[in-house]
């Protein structure tokens, strides 16, 4: 069986396992909260207290030191960069490069996760499990992906091509699950797939 389809079949049969259900419920709740808090209409009213809520519930990286972030860069700068990343008119690769360069101490995954939960059809989470899944299904050199996309830190252009790769997963997953999937669903799938792949090929390099 094609590796991707095999993983989807296993995922579908494991859809209700406890850890997946708990993570899915948590992310759906977080998405509802962040999509409202960081909506284009409300983001200008974001408060410093809101930043703690945004950056302290992360699942891809450890919670951020929001106090240090604000002390170093200023609250207004953090808010404006978030706004630009989510809603700016420049191409996505430029907006990604701007926000990650402006806050080099913040893991790139933190911004990916927040943006994905705020806008689950426009942003994606390109973490180690996503990379491992793409490699395993034989798509490492597809969708415009370069080797730089599999490094610890990536460029905005890498992120754009990573999104293309994960969008392919989203479309196939939607077809097999008979439901329109978001990039949150893709994250849940790659978390599951990454665990399976690590068990099958513990020495697989990303």
Which residue stretches of the chain have pLDDT < 50?
202-206
pLDDT at 135: 96
**Tens-place pLDDT, residues 59-109:** 999 999 999 999 999 999 999 999 999 999 999 999 999 999 999 999 999
Angle between helices 3-13 and 156-177 (to 10 degrees): 60
pLDDT at 200: 60
Count of other CB atoms within 10 angstroms of residue 77:
14
pLDDT at 15: 85
Using CB atoms within 10 A of its CB, is residue 44 exposed (0-12), middle (13-18) or buried (19+)?
A: exposed
Helical segments of the chain, H only: 3-13, 18-37, 48-55, 66-73, 75-87, 92-102, 108-118, 128-136, 156-177, 183-200
Residue the block writes with tokens 């942003």: 123
* Tokens found for residue 21: 């259900």
Contact, 183 vs 127, CB < 8 A?
no
User: pTM to 2 decimals?
Assistant: 0.94
Contact, 23 vs 50, CB < 8 A?
no
CA distance linking residue 155 with residue 149, whole number of Å: 7
pLDDT at 198: 85
The Cβ-side half-sphere exposure at 51, using a 13 Å CA radius, reads 21
Q: Say which residues have a Cβ less than 8 Å from residue 20's Cβ, sequence separation at least 6.
A: 14, 188, 191, 192
Residue the block writes with tokens 């426009």: 122
**DSSP secondary structure code for residue 137 in this structure:** T
């Amino acid at each position: 069986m094609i590796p991707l389809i095999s993983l989807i079949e296993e995922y579908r049969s494991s859809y209700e396992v406890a850890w997946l259900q708990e993570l899915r419920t948590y992310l759906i709740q977080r998405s509802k909260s962040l999509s409202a808090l960081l909506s284009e209409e409300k983001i200008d009213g974001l408060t410093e207290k809101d930043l703690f809520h945004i950056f302290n519930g992360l699942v891809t990286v450890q919670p951020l030191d929001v106090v240090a972030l604000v002390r170093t860069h200023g609250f207004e700068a953090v808010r404006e960069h978030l706004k630009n990343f989510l809603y700016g008119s420049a191409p996505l690769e430029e907006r990604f490069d701007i926000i990650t360069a402006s806050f080099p101490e913040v893991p790139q995954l933190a911004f990916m996760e927040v943006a994905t939960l705020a806008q689950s059809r426009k942003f994606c989470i390109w973490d180690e499990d996503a990379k491992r899944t793409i490699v395993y299904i034989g798509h490492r050199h597809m969708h415009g992906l370069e080797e730089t996309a599999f490094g610890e830190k990536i460029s905005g252009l890498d992120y754009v091509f990573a999104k293309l790769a994960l969008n392919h997963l989203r479309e196939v997953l939607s077809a097999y699950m008979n439901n329109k999937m978001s990039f949150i669903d893709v994250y849940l799938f790659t978390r599951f797939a990454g665990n399976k792949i690590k068990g099958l090929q513990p020495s697989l390099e990303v």
